[in-house]
Amino acid sequence: MAKPIKTRRLVLRALEDSDVPTIALLAGDWDVACMTARIPYPYSEAEARLWMQTLAEGEFVRAVTLDGTLIGAVGYVPNDDRSAEIGYWIGKPWWGHGFASEAARALVRHCFTTAGFQRLTCCHFDENAASERIIHKLGFKRSGSSYAWCDARKAEFPAQSYVLERPMTAMLWRLTG
């Protein structure tokens, strides 16, 4: 079992079977699901369990916890070119406290140090200003615009794509992390 990733306030740990009801409840909130590509709406416990059981090979997902309570998830899907696409969501009761930024920053650090990726990508729907702010805080640079699928809304919507190259300081992060 992989070691948890710790931040000042959060612990990013492996998913557990007992997380299913909380994932279904938090990720299944319309305001969360409609801003993600892969979360359907409504989102049942059976769907959350199936998702956990069918993660793609190499896909890395961690529960974001605050004082032991699951409040969201972060993760990445690796590509063949030493890059990965990251994603994240935080349950609505915890919005506005910087938890998404903190968790995503820890994921980025993990991707560049432990996982050894050279480049990360991510995207957000045009209307998701909160995610746009997080992506900019993390240092991602806009790489284009397109349309992206949203399972909750069953359609494609305008989205912005971003890229972040591995910084030279990533080697220092590994030594101090």
Q: What is the pLDDT of residues 25-57, one digit of tens each?
A: 999 999 999 999 999 999 999 999 999 999 999
The arithmetic mean of pLDDT across residues 147-154, rounded, is 98
Q: Which residues pair with 150 in a beta bridge?
A: 155
Q: Which is it for strands 69-78 and 60-66: parallel, antiparallel or unpaired? A: antiparallel
Instruction: State the pLDDT at residue 168.
Output: 76
- Number of residues assigned to the chain: 177
Q: CA nearest 108: which of 177, 36, 19, 23?
A: 177
Percent of the chain with pLDDT over 70: 94
Provide the residue ranges of all domains of the chain, joining segments of one domain with +: 5-176
Residue 166 and residue 118 in contact, taking contact as beta carbons nearer than 8 Å: yes
Calpha distance 100→90 (Å, rounded): 6
Residue 32 and residue 89 in contact, taking contact as beta carbons nearer than 8 Å: yes
Q: What is the pTM of this model?
A: 0.94
Residue 45 and residue 98 in contact, taking contact as beta carbons nearer than 8 Å: no
Q: Does domain 5-176 have CATH number 3.40.630.30?
A: yes
